[in-house]
Chain A
Amino acid sequence: MEPSTLALFWAAVIAVSILVYVILDGFDLGVGILFGTTDDEARRDRMMAAIGPFWDGSETWLVVIGASLFAAFPTVYAVFLGAFYLPVLLMLIGLIFRGVAFEFRGRSASMRRFWDRGFFLGSVIVAFVQGAAVGALMRGLPVQDGQFAGTAFSWLHPFPILTGIGLVVGYALLGAGWLKLKSDDVLRDWAAERVFLLALLLIAVLGSAIAVAMTVDISAGLTEAAGRFGTLGFALTAIGFCGVLGVLASARGPSDSLPFDLTIAVFAAAFATLATLMWPYMIPYELTVADAAAPEASLRFFFYAGAVALPLIAVYTIGVYWIFRGKSESP
């Protein structure tokens, strides 16, 4: 069955929103992760200032993804939330904790360490469960008659744990690149050093994830994915790997924007690789775009809502980054 044009439109909206979300919330979650690796109060305040105007707008894209899935692909939404009930719960608690800690830490003297810790742990948990969910999706979810047929812990396996750690490292790398881009002198040099170390760590973690997928955690989903890995997949992976090498080479270099830009390219290449392995499935290898799409009348109705809301979100997102371009001001 071929998907309709409207189904393809909504699948494209969701794909683009996921990539934008991963890059935008990725760097501010990453700054939250790096935040926990230093005790220097002045440095912490400057790290917060570097993401201050941006971080809550990033989560708009998570809402766009959730709402579009719910409206346009209800079957995928049902399977995904059933399969990741506990990870999604952890993610929401992590996001809530981060948001509240962001506001409270500056107003509290005695509890400041508690909020700082909450900001760090919230960021780590959100990154981990997102990465683990991608790993578990690729590994394969038990689906019967269009419904999730596993338990609350079906996602928990070695491969998803490693992809979870991989995304924590990946987001931290984005965050370090962002800090190099948005700050100067001491924090800039500190961030550049972190970019270098995290890029090495990312290669190590992703290498282990692939090794685990081929040895101790072989699954039907991963075997199918390996079989679909063709010339295009290879080319995209090669681009991603060259991107990581570029990040390593430019980490300590004179350009403040190059490490961050190259990290975005790495994420885009990884995302495109995943897309080639999944297409036309939305839940690999159980539900396709055509299987999961809502009725045409619903898709058309939501199209008018999307035609108003999506350009609006795009415009204010671009607006915020334009207004707060350049180095961030010291708090």
Chain B
Amino acid sequence: MTPSLTTGDVVISLTAYVLVYAIFVSFGIRYIYELLRAGPAGEAEPVPGVTPSRPLAYAGDAAPAERED
């Protein structure tokens, strides 16, 4: 127990943390949503000698995310 800590202090700090993280998480979700809406920037070139059953073989050729602006 911390004797100097009052209920008011705890309510203020909990509310502040919830608000701050709510702001960041909502922007994060919006950003991911916009990336998904925009979709890949271009079609990946076929990689010789690799089949679609090994999708990770394409990972290095994935199109980089576009900047929003």
Min CB distance A49 to B, Å, is: 16
The answer to whether A147 touches B4 (Cβ under 8 A) is yes
Q: Which chain B residues (21-45) contact chain A, with CB distance < 8 Å?
A: 24, 27, 31
B6 at the interface (CB under 8 A from A): yes
Other-chain contact of A85, B3, B13, B31 (Cβ < 8 Å):
B13
A323 at the interface (CB under 8 A from B): no
A320 at the interface (CB under 8 A from B): no
Q: Tell which of A89, A106, A107 has the most Cβ of chain B within 10 Å.
A: A107
Q: How far is the CA of A108 from the CA of B13 in the complex (A)?
A: 29
By size class, the interface of chain B is 10 to 19
Q: How far is the CA of A147 from the CA of B9 in the complex (A)?
A: 17
Other-chain contact of A111, B3, B17, B27 (Cβ < 8 Å):
B27
Q: Which chain B residues (53-69) contact chain A, with CB distance < 8 Å?
A: 67-69
B47 at the interface (CB under 8 A from A): no
Question: Of all chain A residues, which has the CB nearest B8?
Answer: A152
Q: How far is the CA of A89 from the CA of B5 in the complex (A)?
A: 13
The answer to whether B3 touches A147 (Cβ under 8 A) is yes
Type the 1/0 row for A69-98, where 1 means its CB is closer than 8 Å to any CB of B.
000000000100111011001000100110
A contact residues vs B (CB 8 Å cutoff): 78, 81-83, 85-86, 89, 93, 96-97, 100, 104, 106-109, 111-112, 147-152
B contact residues vs A (CB 8 Å cutoff): 2-6, 8-9, 12-13, 16-17, 20, 24, 27, 31, 67-69
